[in-house]
Structure 1
């Protein structure tokens, strides 16, 4: 799944879209992978999976990243991500 990380946010939030990507706002700064690690933890929490089930596929140094989620069926991941992208429509 594609995500867009917004480092330096006032609070951690997972929801909304940037193009087709899920927006993940984190308080951590984009220094030494801190924002990426915080984003992975935030996604795991939002999807209800353990942090070890969220893996970075591409984008280690970019705000645009692709992550893979294990521990859930693909249809369930899609359903949960859709709810996060449009909370009003869920």
Structure 2
């Protein structure tokens, strides 16, 4: 058995995002096709924008930073996030982030 006994399997959600680094302020800018568009103040240098993205999404969803990871597109503006959020769906995550954009 590869998993530790007593540890339930955790579902991992995947969310496409389009990142706009060097923005005036960090926040959700709406949709960009099928991806969520997120502005980041951080520069795309040495992973700073990826760190800011993970921190922003985790804070917005009230999750620990360890629950959010960039799985594809680390050096691209188009990224695929993997989010461990028990009880949430990809659609509910997208709606929660868009609601935050509307509240700003």
Residue of 42, 45, 62 corresponding to 2:56: 42
- Who is 1:56 aligned against? 70
Residue of 77, 80, 85 corresponding to 2:93: 80
Residue of 22, 28, 32 corresponding to 1:18: 32
Q: SS of 2:57's equivalent?
A: helix
**Which 4+ residue blocks in structure 1 deviate beyond 6 angstroms?**
none
Hey, which of these two has a bigger chunk of helix by percent? Answer: 1
After TM superposition, the score normalised by the length of structure 1 is 0.83
> Are 2:56 and 1:9 aligned?
no
After TM superposition, the score normalised by the length of structure 2 is 0.73
Q: 1:7 Cα shift?
A: 0.4
CA deviation map 1:22-62 (0-9, x unaligned): 11111111111111110111111112211110011100000
2:23–2:40 contact (8 Å) kept in structure 1 = yes
CA deviation map 1:51-87 (0-9, x unaligned): 1100111000000000111132342x42131243366
Question: Which structure 1 residue ranges, 5 or more long, are not aligned?
Answer: none
Number of residue pairs matched by the alignment: 87
Distance 2:32 2:86 in 1: 24
Question: Which structure 2 residue ranges, 5 or more long, are not aligned?
Answer: 1-14
Root mean square deviation, CA, Å: 1.8
Q: 1:60 to 1:69 in 2, by over 3 A?
A: same
